[in-house]
């Protein structure tokens, strides 16, 4: 047994979808969440900057006596996982590997599409992880920079969302993919229009769903689950604006959260 | 005469439009530019965070022995100008006041629309500056969060841009504005679709054009112009990724710039 909490971080609010999965699958675990709302988004930034930010956040989370870290952000997982795993002496799980395994198991014709931020696509993280799993799979990757602002504007199912999805996903015409990885935590919010434009024969993969499973396996392996004698107390931290974060968190988690605290992440 | 350079900053590359105006109107002046490409965009962030970032940047610029500062970013001008003018002992000019004066002089029916980022609109900076100039003017304000990502994606004149502009600018229908302030340095990139949707009878105001005039007046007043014995050497600094910045700068300024240097702005 290990009573210490799990650290989870994201560039903003998107990682709360991962938190919800962890709460569902591991209801006794305590979670410390950090959302980098002052420096969001990461998707257009360099590997070096994203890695620097990830390290600051991990240093902050490690002051909270945590037992493991989940990088709930695709861009940070893609660009900094290897480096932070080398740097810090704590188990760190990203979203890419679980998502890649799930996609590899789902495809029947060995043709997988991947959409994500510029930094995620540039890193080739999903491509490499999928090919490591099955070298016969062909991948087709595309960055969709407008999907995050569309989701944040709440325009997830109107004619603008449809037109933008159509314009981006044109790229996959005639690629005959049967599986499409939603390689950014915001994209599942647009899944209806993405499914409509991609076609019903394409399976959409949401890596967030797989991460909680990987965490559970890791904790079981290390005999590191928390016992249930006391119900878990979760904590939420952000680098900007707690009010807006709390509103979105309540929607994403389908329950109200304890007051989020703002910290100066640049000091870590 | 004052040979010291002018400091100019923006959350990213948008402020280069202001730099171009200064280069045109004050060709002897030396410019030190800083673009906060690691923390861009500012438009969705809190007043407190934007002010903290502005102060860090001004502290950095002041290490370069400058004689004045231009805040070329509407969000930073709107949210932090008063505070930084109180804090630092150097002339600081924002883009809002010049833009507001220009709009007030342009309107004939005293009905002005203002579009900008969430943080700019929330600040009511243009509204207050316009009313200070002429209390009889009625203003109508709207944030357009998707315009910046659209401009950065290069979708400035396609059917998505048109549809987004139509959806936002609907708000101004029946408001009978004859003048519309483009209260964000990115928006002039979308001016064709904005003009088409707003109607040809609406005058678009680009505050960047006015800022250089204000700077010229300030320098004349203080006998602070640089003499022309040596041609000016401009310097460019960013907080992330110099290559992408240099490419965009070459387009925005219509000439190649000296190598941009990356600095760690969080240290200031």
User: B69-94 pLDDT, tens per residue?
Assistant: 999 999 999 999 999 999 999 999 99
Residues A68, A145 within the same domain? no
Q: Kindly report, residue by residue over B180-216, the tens digit of the pLDDT.
A: 999 999 999 999 999 999 999 999 999 988 999 999 9
Question: Does B90 reach chain A within 8 Å, measured CB to CB?
Answer: no
Q: Domain range spanning residue A88?
A: 6-94+209-267
Query: For B20, how many CA atoms within 13 A lie in the half-sphere containing its CB?
Result: 17
pLDDT at A244 (0 to 100): 83
Residues A116, A201 within the same domain? yes
Name the nearest CA neighbour of A140 among A161, A124, A160: A124
Q: Are B214 and B95 in contact (CB under 8 A)?
A: no
CATH number of the domain enclosing A25: 3.40.50.1860
- B61 assigned to some structural domain: yes
Burial class from Cβ neighbours inside 10 Å (0-12, 13-18, 19+) for residue B232 reads middle
pLDDT at B183 (0 to 100): 98
Q: Kindly report, residue by residue over B3-13, the tens digit of the pLDDT.
A: 999 999 999 99
Domain final position from A206, A233, A252 = A206
Q: How many distinct structural domains can be found in chain B?
A: 2
Q: CA-to-CA distance for B250 and B7, rounded, in angstroms?
A: 19
Q: Spell out where chain A has E strands.
A: 6-10, 31-35, 68-71, 92-93, 111-116, 138-143, 179-183, 203-205, 235-238, 261-262
Residue A145 is nearest to which of B153, B167, B239, comparing CB atoms? Answer: B153
**A111-116 sheet: strands from edge to edge:** A138-143, A111-116, A179-183, A203-205
Residues A100, A201 within the same domain? yes
Residues B182, B250 within the same domain? no
- A1 assigned to some structural domain: no
Instruction: Mark yes or no for CB contact B149/A152 under 8 Å.
Output: no
Q: What is the pLDDT along chain A (268 residues), one digit of tens a residue?
A: 999 999 999 999 999 989 999 999 999 999 999 999 999 999 999 999 999 999 999 999 999 999 999 999 999 999 999 999 999 999 999 999 999 999 999 999 999 999 999 999 999 999 999 999 999 999 999 999 999 999 988 899 999 999 999 999 999 999 999 999 999 999 999 999 999 999 999 999 999 889 999 999 999 999 999 998 889 999 999 999 898 899 888 888 888 888 999 999 999 9
pLDDT at B247 (0 to 100): 86
**Nearest residue in A to B150, CA atom:** A146
- B1 assigned to some structural domain: no
Residues A69, A90 within the same domain? yes
pLDDT at B219 (0 to 100): 96
Q: CA-to-CA distance for B97 and B82, rounded, in angstroms?
A: 12
Of A63-77, B46-60, B249-263, minimum mean pLDDT range:
B249-263
**A178 annotated among ligand-binding-site residues:** no
Residues B69, B122 within the same domain? no
Residues A182-194: b if buried by 16+ CB within 10 A, e if exposed: bbbbbbbbbbebb
Residue A159 is nearest to which of B146, B155, B163, comparing CB atoms? Answer: B163
DSSP B90: S
For residue B118, CA distances in Å to B31, B40, B45, B186 come to: 29, 14, 8, 14
Residues B187, B231 within the same domain? no
């Amino acid at each position: 047994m290990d009573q210490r909490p799990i650290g989870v971080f994201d560039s903003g609010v998107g990682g709360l979808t991962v938190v919800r999965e962890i709460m569902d699958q591991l209801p006794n675990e305590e979670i410390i969440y950090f959302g980098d709302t002052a420096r969001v988004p990461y998707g257009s930034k360099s590997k070096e900057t994203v890695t620097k930010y990830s390290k600051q956040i991990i240093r902050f989370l490690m002051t909270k006596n945590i037992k493991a870290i989940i990088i709930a952000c695709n861009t940070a997982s893609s660009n900094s996982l290897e480096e932070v795993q080398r740097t810090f002496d704590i188990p760190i799980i990203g979203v890419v590997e679980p998502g890649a395994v799930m996609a590899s198991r789902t495809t029947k014709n060995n043709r997988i599409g991947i959409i994500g931020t510029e930094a995620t696509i540039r890193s080739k993280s999903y491509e490499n992880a999928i090919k490591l799993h099955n070298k016969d799979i062909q991948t087709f990757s595309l960055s969709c920079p407008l999907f995050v602002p569309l989701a944040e504007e709440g325009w997830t199912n109107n004619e603008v969302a449809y037109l933008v999805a159509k314009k981006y996903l044109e790229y996959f015409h005639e690629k005959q993919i049967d599986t499409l990885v939603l390689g950014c935590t915001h994209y599942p919010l647009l899944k209806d229009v993405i499914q409509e434009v991609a076609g019903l024969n394409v399976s959409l993969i949401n890596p967030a769903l797989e991460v909680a499973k990987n965490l559970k396996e890791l904790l079981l392996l290390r005999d590191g689950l928390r016992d249930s004698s006391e119900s878990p107390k979760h904590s939420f931290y952000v680098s900007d604006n707690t009010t807006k974060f709390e509103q979105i968190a309540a929607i994403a988690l389908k329950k109200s959260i304890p007051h989020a605290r703002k910290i100066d992440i640049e000091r870590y």
